[in-house]
């Protein structure tokens, strides 16, 4: 029995020996000896492969055996090598520039370029290839790198040299500022269901952070008519083979080449208008099948892209099963700069092990992304084995140097020293920005408001000081939940009233509880349509006291919870004692002609009679919303639910109960609303809307503070938003009966202004607003607004209103902010 056992062990050992991985490495250069960065290396008739790094070096782990290895790069002639791989082997490759041959065609004066016939065939086949694969799974490796190429020594008074040193940059303030790698398992079901599980993540400079790389963010499909790259471009980008591409592109036939037995046509694409959202570059189309074989395109700031000056996209495809071709690699490369800073970088993704006939359960796609605990804890040995793109010397140094920095940054002495510096008190900071005291190691944070922002002026209180602060502590690191305690004191120097409020927000399992109470002076319009700062400015400088106030002493409790997916609900109870307040001062810096202060009663501006008698209320309210989606992302800290592509519906009910805690209020209110922002309308922009309807019933006793209020506006500057009016009086049209409110806004995202040279560089977005309100006392009030908005949310609008009840058309210029 002894020898058979030894023989068996010998077979197992030798089988394991021959089954182990061997490594194929090398460098890919061009005819001049220069590195060919990010060339792809694939095993013929498989989806197993890799990419060279930015220095042209590649590494590929394989089982021992015989292979045909293909080396490809856009613009170069493919090279193939048949190898018998028994041990680690080095194969250096020189790629020659592809020599594209012109078809033998009869050239006539004025004849159409041969590229157009090929493009028409590709457009005709676009939908076929768009829908060719109904579902698939694959593995994805993504690497991202961003470098600071130049930076000033100081920026807005900040010592950039110090920041550069603390972040591992060199003495010239240049170097890698972001380096990360990830491996994912990716699943897709047409038309838009995706699931991604990140199985490993490496982030230079942090042992705790997770990569920003997402396979779902790297999905680019030029068989789609439009490429919607939010953030990068306000407008969707037009594919060179979109249905209407011939209206936006010119094409030039460069020639053909034979690759793997296929005839590949190289076509240059040129925007007809360089300011349209179109690409420059080359696309490669296979003869007869008319599908994309690869592409090398770029877009510049002439097309009004944001953040970067130039963005290049390279994509290569490989046959998978039968006639289906899938992406083999995708690379984004970018450069940009602002205010003396220059940067550049890339993101590259490699795809392998496709299964285009997977058995997938649609119900599992509610989870869009999964990142489990430990995926960022893989050691260097793991990455040496799994990383398909070898690191450059610079990248190796960055990982090593920042690993030391990361260990230091996460230590208690370092965090304490950082807190000691940041927690230093200064009068200037206290006056302008407030004061914060942090204990990062214990996750405790104290925040105190700035003194300047706490000072206000109004005709009820005169000069007032409302100073507040908060304490926040993380009490659940697994689900990233916090305890927050907050409070504020307020004193009016003219009416001599002292008020104080406070509250606490805490998690109770999956429910959040908020308890608050105290006494405060607040806006009669609970929508707070005018800011305290703006009212102070108009009161002191223009002798117009728009804001109307009352005193509220209260105690409230609210429970909120996500029931399931996109279904959320809250319930609350509030007791309040409401007191009317009168003006106590009429001081202002200036007294413009025709401007006089009005009473604090918005319905009796000339005579300061009480708007309502002092009263108490006890109200119960419930609200539930649903957005028709249950999609979420899973992190080690818990779930994050994603915005829905569908509208959100909300239903609310409020019941004021008489005689409970001496309550006078006695009424019921039921309301419903539906809203959705940024509905994509393709090349023509995006639309947002909000519609609300409500009715009070069994109303036996109701006071003005209980009315349904609306977000009106009477000043030059206003808080823009989808449910805001531009010209409506703040208080006069609040209602205790029924109402219908509607808002519609369309953003053309630069469709028109991009055609005007003077406006083009401003990247203005055209806005059209329609606002509507109907109540028993205000019939069919309508506003129409047109204007422009910048990328940072600042907008200038011209608005006009139509309603005989408010004295005919009213018109004005409004400046809105939404940040």
Cα distances (angstroms) measured from residue 233 to each of 247, 683, 765: 20, 12, 12
Residue 757 within a domain: no
* pLDDT attached to residue 211: 60
- 630 or 21, which is more confident: 630
Region of poorest pLDDT, from 8-17, 154-163, 389-398: 8-17
**What pLDDT, on a 0 to 100 scale, did the predictor assign at position 654?**
98
The C-alpha atoms of residue 499 and residue 465 are separated, in whole angstroms, by: 10
Give the rounded percent of residues in the chain with a pLDDT score beyond 90: 68
* 184 plus 290 within the same structural domain: yes
**With bands split at pLDDT 50, 70 and 90, how would you rate the model's confidence at 481?**
confident
Same domain, 61 and 186: no
**What pLDDT is attached to residue 420?**
76
- Is 681 contained in some domain? no
Domain total for the chain?
2
**C-alpha–C-alpha distance, residues 258 and 486, integer Å:** 71
Asked if 88 and 153 sit in the same domain, the reply is no
Q: Which of 170-179, 190-199, 686-695 has the highest mean pLDDT?
A: 686-695
Residues 257 and 311 in one domain: yes
In this prediction, residue 172 carries a pLDDT of 84
Distance in angstroms (rounded) separating the CA atoms of residues 762 and 760: 5
Q: What per-residue confidence (pLDDT) applies to 17?
A: 38
User: What's the pLDDT at 66?
Assistant: 92
Q: Please report which confidence band the pLDDT of residue 19 belongs to, taking 50, 70 and 90 as the band edges.
A: very low
Domain that holds residue 63: 19-95
Answer whether residue 11 shows pLDDT above 80.
Answer: no
Residue with tokens 């076509």: 267
Lowest mean pLDDT among 132-136, 184-188, 303-307, 502-506: 303-307
DSSP of 107-118: --TTPPPTHHHH
Write down how long the chain is: 819
Per residue in 37-78, pLDDT (tens digit) is 999 999 988 888 899 999 999 999 889 999 999 999 998 999
For residue 109, what pLDDT is reported? Answer: 62
The mean predicted confidence, pLDDT, of the chain is 90
- CA-based R_g, the chain, Å: 33
Considering the domain architecture, whether residues 144 and 73 belong to the same structural domain is answered as no
Q: What local confidence, expressed as pLDDT, does residue 758 receive?
A: 82
**pLDDT band at 260, cuts 50/70/90?**
confident
DSSP conformation class of 532: H
Last residue of one domain, picked from the residues 95, 111, 143: 95
How large is the average pLDDT for residues 561-586? 96
pLDDT, one tens digit per residue, over 348-402 is 999 999 999 999 988 889 999 999 888 888 888 899 888 999 999 999 999 888 8
Tell whether 339 and 217 lie within a shared domain: yes
Position 5 scores a pLDDT of 39
Residue 135 and residue 91 share a domain? no
Residue 201 Cα distances to 48, 400, 604, 688, angstroms: 21, 16, 65, 37
Residue 209 has pLDDT above 60, yes or no: no
* Contact yes or no for 712/729 (Cβ under 8 A): yes
Closest CA to 490 of 518, 516, 528: 518
Q: What is the mean pLDDT of residues 318-322?
A: 85
Q: What is the mean pLDDT of residues 599-610?
A: 95
Number of Cβ atoms within 10 Å of the Cβ of 211: 23
User: Are 78 and 71 contacting, i.e. CB atoms less than 8 angstroms apart?
Assistant: yes
Q: At residue 215, what are phi and psi to the nearest 5 degrees?
A: -60, -35
Average pLDDT over residues 513-537: 97
Q: In this predicted structure, what is the pLDDT of residue 406?
A: 73
Helix axes 412-422, 393-409, angle to 10 degrees: 80
Out of 409, 435, 459, pick the residue that ends a domain. 409
- What is the average per-residue pLDDT within 574-591? 97
pLDDT at 104: 63
Q: What is the DSSP string of 379-429?
A: -HHHHHHH-SSPPPHHHHHHHHHHHHHHHHHTSHHHHHHHHHHHT---HHH
Residue 159 lies in a domain: yes
Tell me what the mean pLDDT of segment 149-155 comes to: 86
Whether the predicted pLDDT of 337 surpasses 50: yes
Question: Residue 78 belongs to a domain with what CATH number?
Answer: 2.60.40.10
Q: Does residue 777 lie in a domain region?
A: no
Of 575, 434, 579, 431, residue with least CA distance to 499: 579
In a domain, 790, yes or no: no
pLDDT band at 546 (very low <50, low <70, confident <90, very high): very high
pLDDT band of residue 683 (cuts 50, 70, 90) is confident
- Could you tell me if 212 and 323 lie in one domain? yes
Same domain, residue pair 288 and 348: yes
The whole-number pLDDT of residue 2 equals 40
Confidence class of residue 208 from pLDDT cuts 50, 70 and 90? Answer: low
Is residue 620 assigned to a domain?
no
Asked whether residue 390 is domain-assigned, the answer is yes
Burial of 418 (0-12, 13-18, 19+ CB in 10 A): middle
State residue 16's pLDDT score.
Answer: 39
Q: Which of 120, 95, 116 is nearest to 267 (CA)?
A: 116
192 and 328 together in one domain: yes
Instruction: Tell me the C-alpha distance between 725 and 719, whole Å.
Output: 9
Q: Which of 314-328, 562-576, 771-785 has the lowest mean pLDDT?
A: 314-328
Residue 431's H or E segment, with its range, is: helix 427-432
Confidence at residue 166, expressed as pLDDT on a 0 to 100 scale:
72
Tell me the C-alpha distance between 662 and 678, whole Å. Answer: 46
Q: How far apart are CA 460 and CA 673, in angstroms?
A: 34
Global pTM reads: 0.89
**Same structural domain for residues 281 and 382?**
yes
Q: Checking phi first, is residue 415 left (phi over 0); if not, alpha (psi -120 to 50) or beta?
A: alpha
The full DSSP string for 246-296 is GGTEEEEEEEEEEETTEEEEEEEEEESSTTSS--EEEEEEETTT--EEEEE
The answer to the question of residue 645 being in a domain is no
What was the pLDDT predicted at 809? 64
**pLDDT above 90 (res 250):** yes
Examine the pLDDT at 82 and tell me if it is beyond 90. yes
Residues 368 and 231 in one domain: yes
Tokens, residue 687: 């639309």
- Which of 409, 431, 454 is the endpoint of a domain? 409
DSSP H or E segment with residue 166: helix 160-166
Q: What is the pLDDT of residues 422-473, one digit of tens each?
A: 788 888 888 888 999 888 778 899 999 999 999 999 999 999 999 999 999 9
């Amino acid at each position: 029995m002894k020898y058979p056992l030894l023989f068996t062990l010998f077979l197992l050992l030798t089988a394991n020996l021959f089954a182990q991985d061997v490594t194929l490495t090398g460098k890919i250069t061009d005819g001049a000896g220069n590195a060919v960065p990010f060339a792809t290396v694939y095993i013929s008739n498989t989806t197993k492969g890799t990419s060279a790094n930015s220095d042209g070096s590649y590494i590929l782990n394989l089982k021992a055996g015989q292979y045909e290895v293909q080396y490809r790069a856009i613009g170069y002639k493919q090279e193939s090598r048949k190898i018998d791989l028994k041990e680690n082997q080095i194969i250096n490759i020189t790629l020659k520039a592809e020599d594209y041959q012109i078809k033998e065609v009869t050239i006539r004066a004025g004849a159409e370029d041969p590229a157009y016939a090929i493009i028409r065939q590709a457009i005709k086949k676009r939908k076929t290839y768009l829908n060719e694969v109904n579902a698939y799974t694959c593995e994805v490796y993504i690497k991202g790198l961003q470098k600071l190429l130049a930076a000033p020594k100081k920026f807005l008074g900040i010592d950039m040299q110090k920041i550069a040193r603390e972040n591992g940059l060199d003495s010239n303030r240049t170097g890698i500022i972001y380096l990360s790698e990830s491996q994912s398992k990716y699943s897709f079901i047409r038309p838009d269901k995706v699931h991604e599980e990140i199985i490993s993540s490496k982030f230079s400079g942090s042992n705790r952070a997770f990569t920003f790389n997402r396979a779902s963010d790297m999905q680019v499909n030029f068989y789609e008519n439009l490429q919607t790259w939010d953030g990068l471009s306000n407008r969707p980008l037009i594919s060179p083979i979109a249905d209407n591409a011939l209206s936006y592109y010119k094409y030039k036939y460069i020639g053909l080449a034979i690759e793997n037995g296929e005839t590949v046509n190289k076509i240059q694409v040129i925007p007809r208008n360089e300011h349209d959202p179109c690409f420059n570059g080359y696309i490669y189309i296979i003869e007869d099948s008319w599908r994309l074989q690869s592409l090398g395109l770029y877009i510049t700031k002439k097309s009004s892209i944001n953040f970067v000056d130039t963005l290049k996209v390279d994509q290569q495809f490989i046959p998978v099963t039968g006639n289906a071709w899938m992406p083999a690699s995708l690379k984004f490369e970018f450069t940009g700069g602002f205010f003396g800073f220059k940067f550049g970088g890339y993101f590259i993704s490699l795809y392998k092990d496709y299964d285009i006939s997977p058995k997938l359960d649609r119900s599992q796609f509610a989870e869009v992304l999964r990142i489990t605990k430990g995926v960022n804890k893989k050691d260097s040995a793991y990455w040496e084995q799994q990383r398909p793109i070898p690191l450059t010397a610079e990248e190796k140094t960055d990982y090593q140097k920042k690993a030391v920095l990361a260990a230091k940054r996460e230590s208690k002495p370092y965090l304490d020293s950082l807190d000691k510096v940041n927690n230093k008190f200064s009068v200037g900071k206290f006056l302008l920005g407030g004061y914060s005291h942090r204990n990062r190691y214990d996750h405790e944070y104290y925040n105190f408001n700035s003194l300047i922002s706490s000072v206000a002026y109004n005709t009820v209180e005169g000069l007032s000081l409302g100073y507040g602060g908060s304490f926040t502590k993380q009490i659940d690191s697994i689900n990233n939940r916090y305890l927050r305690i907050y409070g504020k004191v307020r004193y009016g120097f003219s009416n001599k009233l002292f008020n104080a409020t406070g509250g606490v927000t805490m998690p109770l399992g999956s429910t959040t509880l908020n308890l608050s109470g105290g006494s405060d002076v607040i806006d009669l319009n609970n929508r707070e349509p005018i800011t305290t700062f703006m009212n102070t400015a108009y009161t002191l400088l223009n002798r117009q006291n728009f804001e109307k106030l009352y005193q509220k002493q209260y105690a409230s409790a609210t429970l909120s919870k996500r029931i399931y997916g996109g279904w959320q609900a809250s319930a609350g109870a509030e007791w309040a004692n409401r007191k009317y307040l009168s003006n106590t001062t009429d001081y202002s810096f200036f007294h413009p002609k025709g401007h006089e202060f009005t009473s604090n009663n918005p319905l009796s501006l000339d005579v300061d009679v009480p708007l309502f008698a002092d009263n108490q209320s006890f109200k119960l309210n419930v609200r539930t919303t649903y957005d028709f989606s249950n999609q979420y992302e899973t992190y080690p800290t818990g779930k994050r639910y994603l915005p829905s592509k569908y509208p959100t519906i909300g239903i609310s009910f409020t019941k004021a109960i008489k005689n409970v805690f001496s309550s006078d209020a006695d009424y019921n209110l039921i309301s419903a609303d539906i809203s959705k922002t940024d509905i994509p309308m393709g090349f023509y922009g995006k639309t947002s809307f909000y519609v609300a309807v409500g009715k009070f019933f069994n109303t036996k006793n109701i006071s003005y503070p209980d009315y349904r209020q609306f977000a009106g506006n009477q000043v030059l500057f206003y808080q823009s938003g989808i449910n805001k009016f531009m010209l409506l009086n703040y208080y006069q049209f609040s209602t205790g009966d029924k109402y219908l409110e509607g808002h519609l806004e369309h953003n053309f995202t630069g469709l028109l202004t991009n055609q005007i040279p003077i406006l083009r560089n401003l990247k203005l977005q055209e806005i059209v607003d329609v606002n509507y309100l109907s109540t028993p006392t205000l019939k069919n009030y309508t506003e129409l607004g047109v204007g422009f908005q910048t990328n940072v949310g600042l907008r200038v609008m011209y608005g006009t209103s139509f309603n005989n009840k408010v004295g005919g058309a009213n018109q004005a210029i409004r400046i809105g902010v939404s940040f």
